[in-house]
């Protein structure tokens, strides 16, 4: 089961959160941090905590508000905690694949939360299985936990084990690892996925996005560099940079869709990046129209940018039903079409009799974009001009974004004119590839844009 996205294509990433707080209440803080990261995954969630070096955890399928109650959080409270919200990009969405992944071994316990995908899963799994490992999940995150535990058996410390284990991994991973005495955060050497650090009094916080740190009353301190490992032990923070390569390939889609607009990633406001996308679209694909609207939620900021640049008034064209939960099942195309109407409706008083520019963040499979267009037409729109704040998808993602194979990407199967006809639009314009990196001019990082270019930072062979 999954929380449907209007375009039935892209799904959010996972979200991770970690805290060391000598004053306790870590589970409750983690709960609120995960709540702020709920947009990154709605299938499952979990929290693990350390109290007097004893580990406890709870995880289940569902939203953060569905899985945890006051009593559960009170049982989990301690001086350290890690949390996770999950969308399954590898492994089924079953309860056993929910995180944190917790293991007991001869050196003690570990809890691991992971955002991203490895690209050498088969090799790693085969290696561990030949060594006698028994896997309890189908998630590649369990491979990371095994790699760290194995390295710890032959190393002097947990941080040394993390350093040696992740040095052998290929792909995208932002990790938080919790042992009975230490909290360790780590980014992959390519920097695909965001991970930041903050403070709240004596507490040290880690999160996928800055919005989670700020939502619990913390202050963003900095982002971890690609390959960096940060260790927190009894309140002392130190950095290990043995795996840092000086490279950075942040997933560009963090700015277009994944991240919350109030987050700052690599020094770039996500909200400003989306407004920039709308401005670029207005310059590249102008049209005579009466109103600019955005498809909620990630299309709204881009719509504002388009309106500001074009001078066409911005309006609220859609009303989103925010009470359609994760259990809303869409097994076939007919159900998906009905799901669009349940989750989204056009505002007739705004669009009737008007020529409308509709801004969306992407078109992936193209299975429901016509239904969204029809909502505007049925509400009386005279014309509907679709503008997309990303280039066409021409290749799958191997690093944790649910972008399917080429056979299911509409841009690989149809021309621009054919996509326009399928969408039922009067005109269609994508963000040009050459404008893509102008979205985030303040970002102190490079980007991975393989889903748009078929050029990847990691050798996939």
Say yes or no to pLDDT of 2 above 50: no
Per-residue model confidence (pLDDT) at position 125: 82
Number of H helices, E strands in the chain: 16, 23
Asked whether the predicted pLDDT for residue 1 surpasses 50, the reply is no
Does the pLDDT of residue 335 top 80, yes or no? Answer: no
Query: What is the pLDDT, as a whole number, of residue 336?
Result: 57
The confidence score (pLDDT) of residue 350 equals 96
Structural domain boundaries in the chain = 15-248, 264-453
Q: What is the DSSP string of 139-198?
A: -THHHHHHHHHHHHHTSSSHHHHHHHHHTT--B--EEEEE-SSEEEEEE-TT--S--EEE
Catalytically annotated residue among 14, 251, 369, 448: 14
**Token pair recorded at residue 136:** 């309890």
Residue 284 reports pLDDT greater than 70 = yes
Instruction: Please state, in angstroms and rounded to a whole number, the distance separating the CA atoms of residues 290 and 362.
Output: 23
Confidence of residue 87 (pLDDT cuts 50, 70, 90): confident
CA distances from 80 to 20, 135, 186, 412, 441 (A): 4, 26, 16, 47, 36
Please tell me the distance from the alpha carbon of residue 167 to that of residue 170, in angstroms, as a whole number: 8
Residue 106: partners with Cβ closer than 8 Å, 6 or more residues away: 153
- Among candidates 115, 118, 227, 243, which has minimal Cα distance to 171? 118
Is 50 exceeded by the pLDDT of residue 286? yes
Between residues 264 and 367, which one has the greater pLDDT? 264
In CATH terms, the fold of domain 264-453 is Rossmann fold (3.40.50)
pLDDT at 94 over 50: yes
Which pLDDT band, with edges at 50, 70 and 90, does 355 fall under? very high
Could you tell me the pLDDT band of residue 460, with boundaries at 50, 70 and 90? confident
State how far the Cα of 423 lies from the Cα of 371, in Å rounded to an integer: 8
**Tens digits of per-residue pLDDT, 389-409?**
999 999 988 887 777 788 889
| CATH topology agreement for domains 15-248 and 264-453 | no
> Is 14 an active-site residue?
yes
Residue 219 above 50 pLDDT?
yes
Separation between Cα atoms, residue 39 and residue 322, nearest integer Å: 12
Q: Measuring CA to CA, which residue among 34, 36, 89, 37 is closest to residue 58?
A: 34
What class is the 15-248 domain? alpha beta
Give the number of C-alpha atoms closer than 13 A to the C-alpha of residue 368, restricted to the C-beta side: 25
Provide mean pLDDT across the span 276-285.
98
Give the SS3 label for residue 343.
Answer: helix
317 alpha-carbon distance from chain centroid: 26
Burial (0-12, 13-18, 19+ Cβ within 10 Å), 170: middle
The string of pLDDT tens digits covering residues 315-326 is 999 998 876 654
Q: What is the mean pLDDT of residues 283-298?
A: 96
Residue 330 predicted with pLDDT over 70: no
């Amino acid at each position: 089961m999954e929380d449907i996205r209007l375009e039935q294509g892209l799904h959010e990433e996972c979200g991770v959160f970690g805290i060391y707080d000598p004053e306790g209440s870590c589970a409750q803080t983690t709960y609120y941090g995960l709540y702020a990261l709920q947009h990154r995954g709605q299938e499952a969630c979990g929290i693990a905590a350390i109290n007097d070096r004893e580990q406890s955890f709870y995880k289940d399928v569902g939203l953060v508000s569905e899985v945890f109650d006051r009593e559960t959080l009170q049982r989990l409270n301690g001086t350290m905690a890690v949390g996770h919200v999950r969308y399954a990009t590898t492994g089924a969405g079953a309860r056993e694949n929910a995180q944190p992944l917790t293991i007991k071994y001869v050196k003690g316990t570990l809890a691991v939360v992971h955002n991203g995908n490895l690209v050498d899963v088969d090799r790693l799994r085969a290696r561990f299985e030949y060594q006698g490992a028994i896997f309890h999940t189908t998630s590649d995150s369990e491979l990371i936990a095994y790699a760290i535990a194995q390295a710890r058996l032959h190393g002097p410390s947990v941080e040394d084990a993390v350093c040696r284990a992740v040095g052998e991994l290929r792909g995208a991973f932002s990790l938080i690892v919790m042992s009975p005495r230490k909290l360790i955060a780590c980014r992959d050497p390519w920097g695909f996925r965001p991970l930041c650090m903050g403070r709240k009094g004596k507490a040290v916080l880690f999160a996928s996005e800055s919005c989670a740190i700020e939502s619990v009353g913390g202050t963003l301190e900095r982002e971890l560099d690609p390959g960096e490992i940060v260790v927190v032990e009894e309140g002392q923070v130190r950095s290990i940079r043995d795996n840092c390569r000086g490279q950075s390939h942040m997933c560009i889609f963090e700015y277009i869709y994944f991240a919350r607009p109030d987050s700052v990633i690599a020094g770039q406001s996500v909200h400003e990046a989306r407004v920039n996308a709308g401005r670029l679209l207005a310059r590249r694909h102008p049209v005579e129209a009466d109103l600019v609207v955005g498809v909620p939620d990630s299309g709204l900021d881009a719509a504002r940018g388009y309106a500001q640049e074009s001078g066409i008034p911005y309006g609220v064209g859609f009303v989103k039903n925010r009470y359609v939960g994760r259990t809303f099942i869409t097994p076939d195309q007919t159900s998906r079409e009905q799901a669009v109407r349940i989750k989204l409706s056009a505002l007739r008083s705004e669009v009737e009799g008007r020529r409308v520019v509709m801004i969306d963040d992407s078109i992936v499979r193209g299975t429901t974009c016509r239904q969204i267009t029809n909502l505007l037409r049925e509400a009386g729109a005279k014309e509907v001009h679709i503008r997309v704040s990303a280039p066409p998808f021409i290749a799958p993602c191997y690093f944790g974004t649910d972008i399917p194979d080429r056979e299911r990407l509409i841009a690989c199967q149809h021309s621009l004119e054919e996509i326009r006809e399928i969408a039922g639009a009067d005109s269609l314009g994508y963000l040009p590839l050459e404008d893509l990196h102008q979205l985030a001019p303040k970002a102190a990082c490079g980007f991975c844009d393989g889903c748009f270019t078929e050029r990847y930072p990691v050798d996939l062979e």
